[in-house]
């Protein structure tokens, strides 16, 4: 393993890398060009780096902490531009990155992936170069997490993990709900539409209504994070090609809070089946890390050192951290610049002063964990 003797990355270089990555489209399944750009950044700074067989960018280093985020984005063309805003200057002065950003007007980067998750990805890459920490940029997070799954199968656990997703520069995410997806299908004989018997489309609609009702009964008076939530994401139905039957199918998703299991949800859902059946995908378990872990303490110290008041977060979605927590027995958290409410949004944008501060926090966290 080679680590560059000159680890310095200026704030201008960090921002140039970020803009370059955002300008390079990388929807899931088409990450190669962006991965090459990221690998070049490490190679130019003397770090060992390669793109593995599934497309992950891997730059091994000090395994006291693994910094990792995802390269892929959801689809969407948002014109990439940097806008100046002289009224929104950052006043923190505790770190060289922040000090540099204070000397010029605040800027905002617009573009798909600026928040989810090329801002966190770039901040981690820069921090890995600066501190010598291990780094991996993974693929496929927005769909099947194939990059994270391959990483888990292909390497031993590091001492700690920081996963990259937007949390705000002074926030750290410790919990995510899990994820369960399946596809329901039902078929009935064809009959004239004047007949009173329910067809497959009605059966599918009735099944889903009963599932929602059953799950609602078990989640009364709980916060969203503590609830099982159910969502249909695709529905189709109509006469079969041979004209002899009516078919209907629904793709459905469930979010699993800590304390619940995928098996319990499957049992509840299948108990509502009057007809038809459901095929399940492999579930992703929920995760809830303690704020008293080495990683949690490091983030609180680092955020305060940069002048912030740490916020501990729980997210109602799911991330690759769920998979890492299920496979690796080490402390971890998720962190990154950006407002997560802008994930996948048509107005996705990132304040570059916040990006600078996030780098400062990540460098400090890495240094603390390397002590």
The catalytic residue positions are 72, 141
The 3-class secondary structure across 114-158, one letter per residue, is CCCCHHHHHHHHHHHHHHCEEEEEECCCCCCCHHHHHHHHHCCCC
Contacts 24+ apart (CB under 8 A), 236-242: 237/200, 237/201, 237/204, 238/201, 239/190, 240/187, 240/190
**What's the Cα-to-Cα distance from 49 to each of 102, 131, 137, rounded to whole Å?**
33, 16, 11
Q: For residue 344, what are its two tokens?
A: 């996948």
What DSSP designation does 159 have? S
**Residue 336 region, left (φ>0) first, then alpha (ψ -120 to 50), else beta?**
left
How big is the chain by its Cα radius of gyration, in Å?
Answer: 23
Cα dihedral: 334, 347, 39, 173 (round 10): 0
Evaluate the omega torsion of the peptide bond into residue 117 and state whether it is cis, within 30 degrees of 0: yes
Instruction: Quote the crossing angle between the two packed helices 262-270 and 200-217, to the nearest 10°.
Output: 130
């Amino acid at each position: 393993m080679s680590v560059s003797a000159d680890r310095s990355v200026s704030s201008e270089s960090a921002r140039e890398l970020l803009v370059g990555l955002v300008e390079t489209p990388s929807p899931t399944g088409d990450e190669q060009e962006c991965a090459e750009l990221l690998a070049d950044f490490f190679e130019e700074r003397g770090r060992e780096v390669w793109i593995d067989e599934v497309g992950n960018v891997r730059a091994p280093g000090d395994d006291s902490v693994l910094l990792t985020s995802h390269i892929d984005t959801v689809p969407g063309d948002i014109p990439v531009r940097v806008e100046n805003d002289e009224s929104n200057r950052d006043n923190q002065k505790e770190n060289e990155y922040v000090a540099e950003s204070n000397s010029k007007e605040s800027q905002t980067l617009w573009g798909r992936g600026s928040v989810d998750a090329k801002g966190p990805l770039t901040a981690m890459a820069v921090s890995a170069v600066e501190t010598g920490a291990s780094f991996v940029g993974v693929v496929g997070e927005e769909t099947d997490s194939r990059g994270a799954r391959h990483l888990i199968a292909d390497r031993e656990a590091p001492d700690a993990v920081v996963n990259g997703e937007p949390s705000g520069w002074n926030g750290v995410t410790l919990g995510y709900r899990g994820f369960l997806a399946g596809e329901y299908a039902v078929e009935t004989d064809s009959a004239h539409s004047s007949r009173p018997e329910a067809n497959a489309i009605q059966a599918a609609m009735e099944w889903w209504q009963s599932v929602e009702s059953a799950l609602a009964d078990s989640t009364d008076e709980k916060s969203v994070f503590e609830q099982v939530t159910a969502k249909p994401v695709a529905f189709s139905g109509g006469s079969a090609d041979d004209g002899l039957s009516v078919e209907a199918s629904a793709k459905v998703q469930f979010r699993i809070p800590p304390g619940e299991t995928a098996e319990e949800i499957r049992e509840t859902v299948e108990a509502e089946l009057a007809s038809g059946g459901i095929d399940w995908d492999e579930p992703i378990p929920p995760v809830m890390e303690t704020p008293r872990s080495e990683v949690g303490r490091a983030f609180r110290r680092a955020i305060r050192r940069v002048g912030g008041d740490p916020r501990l977060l729980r997210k109602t979605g799911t991330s690759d951290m769920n998979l890492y927590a299920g496979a690796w027995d080490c402390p971890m958290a998720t962190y990154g610049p950006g407002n997560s409410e802008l994930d996948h949004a048509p107005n996705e944008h990132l304040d570059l002063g916040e990006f600078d501060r996030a780098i400062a926090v990540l460098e400090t966290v890495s240094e603390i964990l390397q002590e």
